[in-house]
Structure 1
C-alpha cells in the first residue's frame, strides 16, 4: 500500500481554533479526556510522556494531578500553546515517526497517545519507541476514532486500512488512516504490549446539557472514540 498521511503538521493551520474548540468542547472535555485520564489512573509523582500533546489540555490536567510531563507534537504552534499553558512541562516539536532519541530507555512511567495514532504512517516504529521509553511496570494509554464509526461514515472494506481525506464541521481539512480494531491490537502486540483494558467511552453526564442529541447518540452508538490501556508484555525480554 502506497497511501500515506505524510508529515505535514495538519493541525498547525488551525491550532488556535482547535484550542478554543477542545478546551471545554463536547468530544474533548466530556468524552475523550475523561476516558484517557481514567485509564492512566493515579499520576501523582509519575513521569508522563504526552505524545502528540496538542495545545496542552491533557498535559495541564496531568500536572494538576501531580505528574511531571514531557510533551511532543509535530505542530510547532501546538508546542507553543502547550508551553504557554503548562509552563512546568517540557515540550518539543517532534515527528512520532522518528526515534525519541533524547529519551533514555525506561525513562517514563506512563505514555499518553490521545487521538493521534490514525495520523501516523509509521505506527509500528512509533509504538516500539513508546514501548522503549516506558518502564517495564508502566502503561500506554491511547485513544483513537472508533473503527465502527469510521466504517459507518466512509463505508468500503472495513478490514482494509486506507487513508481518508475529509473536512470536519469546523471546516478543518484532515487526512488520516482508517483501520479495523484488529489492526490496532495487532500493532500493539507486535510492538511488545499487552492490551489490559479497552473502553468504548460514554460522554460525561455534564455533556447532556451541551448537546442532548449528541449525548443520547453516543450513549448508544459506537460512532465516537475508543480508548485502550496497554502494558509492556512481561513475557518478553526487557529492552535496552
Structure 2
C-alpha cells in the first residue's frame, strides 16, 4: 500500500446515495452538522468557504442563516448536487491537493471543513491555504472522525499514522488516513492556527427516534466525530 490516499474523488461513485444517507441520518444530520454549525456561530452577513461541501447540506443551512457561501468539492457530482440544493451558493470542482489560487487572500470570514480531513495527504499545506484566505478575526471549523473510534475499529498502534481501506455498511469502499489527535493538533500549529474549542459531538435527543441503539452508543462512546474551532495565531 502506498503512503498516499491519492487524487481519486472517492465519493463520486456514491454521491447520490450519500445525499440520501446524510440528509437525515444519525451521524451527519444529528451529530456532526449541528456541532459544526454551533461552532461557526452567527453567520448572518458572513462569507463562508465550505471546503469539501459534498451535496450542499451544510451550505443550505448556512444560506438559510444569512451567510454567503462559496463551496468546493473534489467530486463533480457532489458539486452538481450542491448547486441544485443551494442555488444562491457558488460551487466548483477542486482537488484539495492543489492550492486555492482562485480564492483571494483574507477574503472569507469563516471556513467550514466537515469530515474530509482524512482524505487529504498534505494536511499542513491545506491548513496553510485555509489560513491564508481567512480575514483577520476569522475562524476555521472542521470535523474529523474520532481517532479513538478509529483505533477501536482498526486496532494496532493508536499513534501510528497510516492509511486504511474500509467498506462501509452501504458497500461504499473508502481509503483514508488514521492519525492520532496529537497529529491533528500539530498540523494546525504548523499551519499557524490555535485551537479555540474542541468538542466531541453527541447526537441530539430527537435522534433517539431514528436509531435508538446508535443514539445510545454515540451518547456514551467516542466512536463518532471530533469538531474543532481554530483561529489564526496572532503571534509573529
Report the TM-score, using the length of structure 2 for normalisation. 0.99
Corresponding residue number in structure 1 for 2:33: 33
Q: 1:198–1:226: 8 Å Cα contact kept in structure 2?
A: yes
Deviations, residues 44-67 of structure 1 (Å, cap 9, x unaligned): 000000000000000000000000
Deviations, residues 40-94 of structure 1 (Å, cap 9, x unaligned): 0000000000000000000000000000000000000000000000001010000
Unaligned runs of 5+ in 2: none
Distance 2:129 2:153 in 1: 32
Match of 1:105, SS?
Answer: coil
Corresponding residue number in structure 2 for 1:73: 73
- The aligned length equals 236
Distance 1:214 1:170 in 2: 16
Q: 1:136–1:234: 8 Å Cα contact kept in structure 2?
A: no
Unaligned runs of 5+ in 1: none
Match of 1:206, SS?
Answer: helix
Q: 1:163–1:177: 8 Å Cα contact kept in structure 2?
A: yes
Shift of 1:125: 1.1
Q: 1:47–1:108: 8 Å Cα contact kept in structure 2?
A: yes
Match of 1:37, SS?
Answer: helix
Deviating above 3 A after TM superposition, structure 1's stretches of 4 or more consecutive aligned residues are none
Shift of 1:2: 4.8
* Greater shift in the superposed pair: 1-10 or 105-114: 1-10
Match of 2:5, SS?
Answer: coil
Match of 1:177, SS?
Answer: strand
Distance 1:93 1:143 in 2: 21
Corresponding residue number in structure 2 for 1:86: 86
Within the alignment, does 1:125 sit opposite 2:129 as a pair? no
Distance 2:185 2:29 in 1: 26
Corresponding residue number in structure 2 for 1:169: 169
Question: Pairwise CA RMSD of aligned residues?
Answer: 0.9
